[in-house]
Amino acid sequence: MGRRYDPERRQRIIDAAIRVVARDGVAGLSHRRVAAEADVPLGSTSYHFASRDDLLVAALGQVSDEWLATVERWVEAVDPDLPLGEEVARFVTDSLSGDRTRARLEYELYLAALHHPGLRPIAAGCLDALTELLRRRTGDAARARALTVLLDGLMLQLLLTDRPVVPAEVRALVDGLAAPV
């Protein structure tokens, strides 16, 4: 019997890798688990992704692209008549309200770059792209980088502590970036 033509298999494997990381963490990612999750033969995962790191790179790349698309939609919808702190507070609240599974997944993959050098260019590219999106709103590269750092640290802290988002605190943090020193 010949090989079945399956043009979507690679994408199904990436989607399965993302689900495995969301459920089991980066440490739980394996070709075997991904093959079972994607309902494909084990050989398919290693055909498309020679190593576990290759799977991680594909998963982080997709998650990063999806997250940046979300940020870009937010930046485009920002009301220029509202204070930036209010808009950032809305973004953080929207991102972390309810089920935080997706945000945890994003940070799980992002932080995996600390131990997997192949992921670092994707993580760094995501930060640079976020900074550029914020620069469009602020008009200032330094303030945009500071907002990137603030958002990144704030979201990570809120995920680690399971604390609720307090919009007034987020607004105060963002407004503090504009205050003269």
Domain boundary among 9, 25, 50: 50
Question: In the block, which residue shows the tokens 């998963």?
Answer: 59
Q: Could you tell me the CATH number of the domain that includes residue 20?
A: 1.10.10.60
Question: Are residues 17 and 44 both part of a single domain?
Answer: yes
What tens digit of pLDDT does each residue of 31-42 get? 999 999 999 999
Q: Which domain holds residue 44?
A: 1-50
Question: Are residues 20 and 93 both part of a single domain?
Answer: no
Q: CA distances (Å), 73 to each of 34, 113, 144, in order? A: 31, 26, 17
Domain boundary among 50, 71, 91: 50
Question: Are residues 43 and 106 both part of a single domain?
Answer: no
Which helix H or strand E contains 17, and what residues bound it? helix 9-24
Give CA angle at 19 (18, 20), nearest 5°. 90
Q: Kindly give the parts of the chain with pLDDT less than 50.
A: 1-2, 181
Question: Are residues 76 and 33 both part of a single domain?
Answer: no
Q: Which residues of 27-44 are buried (b: 16+ CB within 10 A; e: fewer)?
A: eebbbebbbebbebeeeb
Cβ(150)–Cβ(89) below 8 Å:
no
pLDDT score of 139: 86
Per the structure, how many domains does the chain have?
Answer: 2
